[in-house]
Amino acid sequence: MIRLRNVTRDRNQLVYLILIVGVLLFPVLAGFVSPGDSGNYLLGQAADAGVYVLLAIGLNVVVGFAGLLDLGYAAFFAIGAYTYALLASGQLNSSPLHHAIHLPFWILLFVAVIVAATAGVILGAPTLRLRGDYLAIVTLGFGEIVPKLFLNLSQWTSGVNGVSALDYPSLPIWIEGPWVGSSLSIVRGFSFAFNSMAYYWLMAILVLIVVILVSNLQRSRLGRAWGAVREDELAADAMGINTVTTKLLAFSIGAATSGFAGVFYGSKLSLVSPENFSFVVSVTILVMVVLGGMGNIPGVIVGALAIYYVLFNVLTNLPANAKGIANAVGLGFLNRPAAGGWPGLEQEVQRLNFLIFGLILISIMLLRPQGLLPSRVRKEELEKGVAE
């Protein structure tokens, strides 16, 4: 058994090593793969993937560590993003406040974290006495209410149009170099606007900070308490663990992480609108956590990257790729619309996109029910059937 634990730990260290090397090499590789824009598009995608990595790590605290099923996690993401949107744009000028607020990105990172964590406590305090399915339903409701709130408070948030023209983060000094296709130089008053490289490194640093913080939490006394609550709440009570506080902390720390992600997301897209935080987002993040390996941080990171890649790269390019392949192997007739309602292969694949996504999810769950990189506890449960 001790051997098993070490295997898990060694594997995690290996995964971290691969991830770090990958993050360092990615800008270079992206530049090679698409020299036209010196990898800008790919770097931007990677930074967006990082948003999901942050979200998955945060949800993992709630679902994986403390065992609380949260189906409305996107709500906290929305709260973080809207915090940034309102406090770093001209938006409030056209609100009843009649005064725009432009706080710096770096301060708003912390403000949004506090706002999201507070929202977590406000939602958690009355609901965390519920268990399992009941908690899931309440969080589901919360996940629906929050975007609706932003939608309908239109005098503050411009409703369905969303808040646009958000401020870009800036730095007093930034060093440019060959890696962004320019010569080595120091840029003063540097703005992140449209600079994917800058966002990429910012995201890498944010993820690093969050991983370090959350890993430490996992190993802390609080982390043990989360484990105990997840396993058996009554027994946790009998060990002297204040279960309500313990669960509240999981909720608010999870929420805080997504507040982080929300600020980054808003600042990069420069646009925040209610439809970006639908139920599908909550479910996608949950899928990342479960598929990656609930409770295991490197697993969850890999899960988030894998699902992001499938969703926003494989699936979005699939119709065009299918068309290309059909042409290449001499099945070009498939690409022409035909009698019987056949719209052509590209259209058809487009229609089937989510079916294909579903099939991919089902196959992963069939092949690796414990997740890609499971935590020791999950593994134990599935292999030996040890439950309560």
Partner 1 sequence: MALLELEGIETYYGRVRALNGISLSVDTGEVVALIGSNGAGKTTTLRTISGLQHPARGSISFAGQVITGVSAARRVGLGIGQSPEGRRLFGRMSVLDNLVLGSYTRRDRAGIQRDMDRVFELFPRLKERSGQISGTLSGGEQQMLAIGRALMSQPKILMLDEPSLGLAPILQETIFSIIAEINGQGTPILLVEQNALKALEVADRAYVLETGTIVKEGTGEELLHSEDVAKAYLGM
Contact footprint for partner 1 (CB under 8 A): 1-2, 5, 221, 224-225, 227-228, 231-232, 234-243, 377, 380-381, 384, 386-388
- Decide whether 4 or 208 has the Cβ nearer to partner 1: 4
- Decide whether 268 or 379 has the Cβ nearer to partner 1: 379
Which of 245, 242, 257 lies closest to 289 in space, CA to CA? 257
Provide the minimum distance between the beta carbon of 382 and partner 1 in the complex, in angstroms, as a whole number.
11
Provide the minimum distance between the beta carbon of 144 and partner 1 in the complex, in angstroms, as a whole number.
33
Provide the minimum distance between the beta carbon of 369 and partner 1 in the complex, in angstroms, as a whole number.
16
- Decide whether 1 or 173 has the Cβ nearer to partner 1: 1
- Decide whether 368 or 376 has the Cβ nearer to partner 1: 376
> Which token pair is 184?
């080595």
Q: How far apart are CA 349 and CA 351, in angstroms?
A: 5
- Decide whether 1 or 328 has the Cβ nearer to partner 1: 1
Provide the minimum distance between the beta carbon of 75 and partner 1 in the complex, in angstroms, as a whole number.
29
- Decide whether 67 or 162 has the Cβ nearer to partner 1: 67
Provide the minimum distance between the beta carbon of 246 and partner 1 in the complex, in angstroms, as a whole number.
9
Provide the minimum distance between the beta carbon of 126 and partner 1 in the complex, in angstroms, as a whole number.
18
